[in-house]
Every structure is written in C-alpha cells, then in structure tokens.
C-alpha cells in the first residue's frame, strides 16, 4: 500500500507567481516567505503591527527591495498587490484581510504559496504529508518525520511545528514535506493537496476565535478538501467529529477500541498489541507496552504514524524502530525532574481540556498534583471534574482562568489558588510525597504570563529541577 508521487502541472515558478505580493505578519513564516519570494523576483510589501526594533531581519530584506509598513494597522501595503499572504496568527476577520477581499485580492496562507512554489520547482516529485487535529498533531508529525528519516528519505519537517515550509525552498529538489497544520493555516489554503492527510481528533478548542465548534471543525476538515481518490485520509475512528467527515480519498482508520468496521486499511489496538490490516489481512506490529512514549494519547499518535508510514510504503523495519525508540518532543508529558520519589512532568503544550484529560489518564488515582490555568480559551473545565477528582490529590490554579477553573471543579477536587508558577511549584514541593507526580498540564493558553507555551514549560522545568534537587 503506497502513495507514489503525482504528476503535477509543469508550470515554472515565474509563471506561477504574480508580480507583487503583500505579506501580513513578519514572524517566522512571514519572513521566510518574503525571503523566498524576493529570491524568485517577486515585489514584496510586508506589514506588521510591531515596530522595526522588535522584528529581526527587516534591514536585510529592505536592502533587497522589500517594502515595509510597520507599527500600524493601515492598508497602504495592499496597493498594487496581486495576492495577500497571511501568517498563521492572522485571523480572516482582521481589517487588512477584509480590505484585501473587498478589493478582490486573493488571500492565501503561507503554506499554500510555499506548496505551489515547491511543486513547480520539483516537477511534482515531492510527497506531502499533512497532519492536523486538536491534540497530538505535533508529536504525530515529528514521529512520522522520524520514521521517514530512518527509512532514508529526505525530509522537511515543517509548518506549525516550528519551521515554515517557505524556509525549505532555498534547497530545490524532491523530498517528503511532513507538515503540521493548524486550523488557522488551513483557513486560507486553496490548492494545497497532501498525499496523506492525517486528522488526529477534533475537540473544542480556539472557541475564542471561532463562532462555535462546528466552524472550528470545518476548518480542520479542509485538510482533505483537495485530495483525490489516489490520496489517503488517515482518521481517528474513535473521535466522533473526525470520523464523521466525508473524504474523496482512500480512508484509513486507527482506533484504540479494536479493529474499525471498514473494508479499507486500518491500525488498531487488540489485546495489548498494535495491529495493521487491509481487507482480510492482519499483522501484529508492536506491543503497546513497547511504544517509546507512554499514555493513551501517544498510543493514538503512534497508530496514526504507523498508518501514514504504511500508506507511503515505508519499510517495516524503519517503522518499528522509530515506534519503539522515538524520544518525543519537549513540553508534551515530558519528565523534566525527579527527586525524593517525586516526578515533575512538563505538559505545557496541554493548552486545552481534552489534552489535559488525556495526560491525566496515564497516572494512577490520587497520585497527581496538578497545575492548571493560564488564559482561558473558552474550554469546558467542568468536563475535567470527574477525572481530576480521581487522579489529582491537589489542584493548584494559576493565571487569568484560575477563578473559572475553581468554580468548575468546586466540590469535585481539592483546589488551591497560587496565581504564579513560582508559587504553584513552591506549594507542590511542600505537599508532594514519594510516588506523586507534579504535572503541569494547564488546559489554557500561556499568553497571560508567558510569550508562548514553550517559555512556560521551560520556566516550570527550571523551577522543578530546583525543587527536586532541594528534596
């Protein structure tokens, strides 16, 4: 079972790109795209609300002819633009985006433009693997990329995981683009078409940006919309919202509940073993206990990675080696310190209720001191109450959402407010006993006190190491 490179349109890059492109947002993806466009002779106008002193790389690109419109929210940068390219953090409701649409200027995501350039310059010999989902997409993306690397493939690990796709356009030639895509990025695709599209799950998230859950789910489902019957859609059969999506490509399922009811290919858990099968065939791949990363959520991530590898015809030895040896990613249920019989686990990437729930599932009852809180993303904290009441001996709330969380857990868990991370870690150190795990899995965004979840995780890890050493 494999997906071979497709024959794409032989358009040259010069024929593919218009004369002038406006870029809104000069963070990582905006800067990488601007550099790629200038290299290909496109006139580029960049707008960003930040001042030049806060944006590295401005002067270098200005010397290469890029025009900059910084520190404001005007629309002058759209003058003469043929396209507007937007960074992932820019909502489609932003005034410059609405102004572009009023002028009839196509609005495209960085991933869309980078895809078009890469395909034109490789004669369609790239393989595109795209992963989205509310939870698990970063780990799944990295796991897939590592499998392909161990199989000897040239891999570009790109997208929302940290490196913009445009950043890989400096080197021309076919490769496997393994891309993590957020709903924000998928909102502004047009022709983007992956060989293999993976949907890990869809649970309520980013409801501060979307009108409701159905709108958020539709954004996720766009990952499949340009696929054709020769492509693959890898979908979590256990997730109601994901499994309800219709696709025109070959449907491949994975499930923790046993073999899915499908005539097509699937990965599933049965009697503690992960299986792969298609039609009447089936084979055991690996014992769940031998997977490199523990927990129910990582079992799902592993099966999604396995299914993707099979769709791409990857040698079984490379797949098995990576499933059992993959080291995982920082800030995702990562053990960062241990001392006095107490483990300290950083799950700062647990920015929504479902992620926190799946993290908690991996611990014994009454063994967790849980740090919750940050900026509320309109999550249903009450949905955590039952599980938190079982797993957590104490909940320490921090940040803006502390009061909301306390109200949702009232009567279900032992909760104390500690406001800051320093205070929460100090209290956890006081009460932790051998056999406990102090778990940072906030179920909230980090932006009330930190630049991003990585900074929050690093801060927790540093405090945890000091606390563990003191014990």
Catalytic residue set:
137, 160, 206
What letter would DSSP give residue 188?
T
The CB-based long-range contact list for 34-37 (8 Å cut-off, 24+ gap) reads 34/61, 34/66, 35/61, 35/166, 36/114, 36/117, 36/166, 36/167, 36/169, 36/170, 37/113
Rounded Cα distance, 446 and 50, in Å = 20
- Token couple for 155: 């891999």
What is the rounded distance in angstroms from the CA atom of residue 282 to the CA atom of residue 273?
12
The CA distances from residue 264 to 1, 224, 233, 253, 365, in Å, are 11, 17, 11, 8, 38
The sign of the dihedral angle between the CA atoms of 308, 312, 318, 320 is positive
SS3 303: helix
Answer for the pair 33, 110: CB distance below 8 angstroms, yes or no: yes
CB-based contact 250:234 (threshold 8 Å)? no
- DSSP annotation of 222 reads G
Residue 198, beta-bridge partner list: 131, 234
Query: Two tokens at 13?
Result: 């890059």
Best CA proximity match to 184, nearest among 137, 228, 237? 137
């Amino acid at each position: 079972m494999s997906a071979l490179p497709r024959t794409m349109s032989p358009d040259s890059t010069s024929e593919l790109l218009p004369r002038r492109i406006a870029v809104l947002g000069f963070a990582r993806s905006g800067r990488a795209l601007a550099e790629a466009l200038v290299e290909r002779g496109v006139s580029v106008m960049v707008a960003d609300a930040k001042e030049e002193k806060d944006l590295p790389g401005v002067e270098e690109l200005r010397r290469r002819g890029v025009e900059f419109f910084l520190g404001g929210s005007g629309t002058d940068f759209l003058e003469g633009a043929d396209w507007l390219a937007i960074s992932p953090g820019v909502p489609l409701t932003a005034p410059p985006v609405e102004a572009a649409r009023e002028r009839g200027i196509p609005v495209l995501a960085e991933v869309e433009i980078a895809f078009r350039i890469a395909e034109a310059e490789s004669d369609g010999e790239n393989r595109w693997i795209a992963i989205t989902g509310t939870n698990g997409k970063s780990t799944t993306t990295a796991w897939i990329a590592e499998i392909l690397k161990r199989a000897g493939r040239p891999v570009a690990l790109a997208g929302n995981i940290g490196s913009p796709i445009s950043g890989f356009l400096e080197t021309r030639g076919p490769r496997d683009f393994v891309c993590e895509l957020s709903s924000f990025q998928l909102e502004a695709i047009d022709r983007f078409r992956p060989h293999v599209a993976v949907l890990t799950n869809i649970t309520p998230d980013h409801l501060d940006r979307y009108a409701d859950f159905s709108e958020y789910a539709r954004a996720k489902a766009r990952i499949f919309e340009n696929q054709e019957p020769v492509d693959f859609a890898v979908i979590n059969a256990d997730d109601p919202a994901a499994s309800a999506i219709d696709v025109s490509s070959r449907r491949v399922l994975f499930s923790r509940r046993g073999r899915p009811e499908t005539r097509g290919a699937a990965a599933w858990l049965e009697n503690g073993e992960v299986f792969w099968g298609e039609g009447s065939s089936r084979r055991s791949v690996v014992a769940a206990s031998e997977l490199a990363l523990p927990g129910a959520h990582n079992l799902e991530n592993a099966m999604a990675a396995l299914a993707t590898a099979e769709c791409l015809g990857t040698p079984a030895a490379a797949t098995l080696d990576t499933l059992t040896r993959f080291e995982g990613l920082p800030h995702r249920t990562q053990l960062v310190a241990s001392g006095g019989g107490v483990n300290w686990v950083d799950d700062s990437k647990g920015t929504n209720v479902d992620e926190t729930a799946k993290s908690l599932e991996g611990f014994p009852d009454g063994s967790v001191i849980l740090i919750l809180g940050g900026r509320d993303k309109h999550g249903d904290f009450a949905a955590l109450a039952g599980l938190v009441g079982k797993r957590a001996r104490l909940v320490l709330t921090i940040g803006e959402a502390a009061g909301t969380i306390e109200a949702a857990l009232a009567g279900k868990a032992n909760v104390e407010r500690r406001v800051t991370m320093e205070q929460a870690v100090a209290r956890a150190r006081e009460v932790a006993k051998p056999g406990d795990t102090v778990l940072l899995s906030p179920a909230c965004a980090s932006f009330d006190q930190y630049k991003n979840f990585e900074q929050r995780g690093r801060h927790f890890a540093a405090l945890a190491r000091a606390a563990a050493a003191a014990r």
